Amino acid sequence: MAELHDAVEVITTKRDGGALSDSQIDWVVDAYTRGAVADEQMSALAMAILLNGMSRPEISRWTAAMIASGERMDFSALSRPTADKHSTGGVGDKITLPLAPLVAACGVAVPQLSGRGLGHTGGTLDKLEAVPGWQASLSNQAMLRQLEEIGAVICAAGAGLAPADKKLYALRDVTGTVEAIPLIASSIMSKKIAEGTGALVLDVKVGSGAFMKSLERARELAETMVALGTDAGVTTVALLTDMSTPLGLTAGNALEVRESVEVLAGGGPADVVELTVALAREMLTAAGVADVDPADRLADGSAMDVWRRMIAAQGGDPDAPLPVARETLVVPAPASGVLTRLDAMAVGVAAWRLGAGRARKEDPVQAGAGVELHAKPGDTVVEGQPLLTLHTDEPDRFDRAQAALDGGVEVAPAGTSYAPASIVIDRVSA
C-alpha cells in the first residue's frame, strides 16, 4: 500500500501552527508504532505539539489512533458495572490501595491497571510488590475472573494495550516533551479507554509535589481528559486535589501499604480517608450506584475483606509482615511553633534518594525505604522532637536525602493561625 503521508509533511504542518487532519494523525501514529517513522521525527512532532498545542478534535483523533494501535478489553460480560480511577501522581499517594477494594465492596468492579514510579512520584505496583508473594502480571482471562469473583484487581497493563503510547512515552521522557498537555492527556486516556472501563474518575494533582504545579495547568489537563473520555463514550469526571504536602504520614512502598491497611481497618490519617471516600463516591455515582455510602463499608470491615481476597488472589499473603528498612534516621523539628510547610516535592525526592523510587525505569526499588512524617502542617511542634524518620537499607543514602529536605520545612511562631488547604480543590465534569 502506498504511504498516504510523509513524516516531514506532518511535522511541518504542526510546526507552522496548522491542525493535523484525521488521516495525518492516523498515519503518523500507526507508522511510528510500526517503526516507519523514526524517533527523531516523532521527537520533532512532539516538540511542535508542545509548542503549538492541539484542538479537541485533534486530541480525540490522536487518542483514538493510540487505542487502535493495540487491543481493547471488554468487561460487558461482568455481572456488575465497572469504574476505574487514575491519579496523575504525587507523594504519599497510596489512594488506589484502599480505594479499589472499597469501591468493590460497594458493588462496582474496579479494573485498576497501574504503573511503576519514576522520579519523585511513587508507583502503585512498586507499593504492592512490598507484600510478600504479590504478583503484578495477570492474563486478561485471570483479570476477568478476579473481577467477577472478588470485584477488584490492581495489576500491570498488558503489552497489548496502546503499544503506541508505550513507545511515545519513553521518547517524551528523553526529549523534554513530557509536559505537553495533549500528549499527557492522550497517553493517560488511550490506556484507560482501551482498558474498557465503563466510568472513570481522574485525580488530577496540583502543587509542588505534582507534575502540574499551577491550578490553571491542572484544570486544563483535567478538562482535556474529561472531554476525551466523554468523546469516547466513557462517563468521566475529574477532581483537582492538593499535592503541596504529602498525602498521609508515609512516602515509600511498604510504609504506604501499612498505612493503607490502617485505612481499611477503619483508622489511618484523616486526609487519606477523606480523599479515598471522596473518590469512591465519584466512582459509584459515575457507575450508576448511588445508594451505598463507602464510609459505611470502611467501618463495617467489608472493604478490608475485599483487600485480603484481592491480595491473596494475586499470590500475596495479606498476613505476612511487611519489609522493614535496615537503617533509620530521625530528622528533628528545627524550631518550636506551628508547622506551616512540609513540602511534598522535598519529601518525595528524599524518599526517592533513600531507595523508594527509581531514576530509570529498569532500576530496582527498596521495599522498606521511605519517609515517615510525625507531624503535618497545622500541628504544633517542639524544637528537637522527631519531625520525620528516614528509612533505607543503605545508610550512605541519608546525606543526600537530608539535602533534599533543605528548605522544605517551615515552622512559624507559636500561636500563628494556620488554615490547611482543603484536599479536594475543585471538580470538573463534562
pLDDT at 329: 98
Mean pLDDT of the region 88-95: 94
| Separation CA 414–CA 380 (nearest Å) | 7
Confidence category of residue 1, pLDDT binned at 50, 70, 90: very low
Confidence category of residue 421, pLDDT binned at 50, 70, 90: confident
Q: What is the pLDDT of residues 125-182, one digit of tens each?
A: 999 999 999 999 999 999 999 999 999 999 998 888 899 998 998 888 888 898 899 9
| Separation CA 367–CA 93 (nearest Å) | 16
Share of the chain above pLDDT 90, in %: 88
CB 292 within 8 A of CB 284: yes
C-alpha grid cell, residue 321: 509482615
> Is 280 exposed, middle or buried (CB count within 10 Å of its CB: 0-12, 13-18, 19+)?
buried
Contacts of 259 (CB under 8 A, 6+ apart): 94, 248, 249, 250, 268, 269, 272
Strand spans (E) along 210-283: 235-242, 250-252
DSSP string over 181-209: HHHHHHHHHHHHHHTT-SEEEEEEEESTT
C-alpha grid cell, residue 10: 506532518
Question: Which CATH code fits 83-313?
Answer: 3.40.1030.10
Q: What is the pLDDT of residues 269-285, one digit of tens each?
A: 999 999 999 999 999 99
| Separation CA 365–CA 358 (nearest Å) | 6
Average per-residue pLDDT for the chain: 94
Q: Which sequence spans correspond to the domains of the chain?
A: 7-53, 83-313, 327-412
pLDDT at 358: 80
Question: Which CATH code fits 327-412?
Answer: 3.90.1170.30
Cell match 500507526: residue?
30
pLDDT at 428: 97
Where in the sequence numbering do the catalytic residues fall?
86, 165, 172, 187, 191
* Edge-to-edge strand list for the sheet holding 337-342: 380-381, 337-342, 409-412
DSSP string over 142-192: HHHHHHHHTSEEEEEPPTTS-HHHHHHHHHHHTTT-TT-HHHHHHHHHHHH
Contacts of 7 (CB under 8 A, 6+ apart): 28, 31, 37, 38, 41, 42, 45
Return the amino acid letter for 101.
Answer: P
What distances in angstroms separate CA 169 from CA 176, 206, 311, one per listed residue?
Answer: 11, 21, 29
Is the pLDDT score of 289 beyond 90?
A: yes
Q: What is the pLDDT of residues 34-91, one digit of tens each?
A: 999 999 999 999 999 999 999 999 999 999 999 999 999 999 999 999 999 999 999 9
Is the pLDDT score of 122 beyond 80?
A: no
pLDDT at 290: 87
| Separation CA 178–CA 171 (nearest Å) | 9
Return the amino acid letter for 242.
Answer: D
Of 53, 51, 110, 54, which is closest to residue 85 (Cα–Cα)? 110
Is the pLDDT score of 324 beyond 90?
A: yes
pLDDT at 412: 96
Fold for 7-53, please state it. 1.20.970
426 vs 357, residue with greater confidence: 426
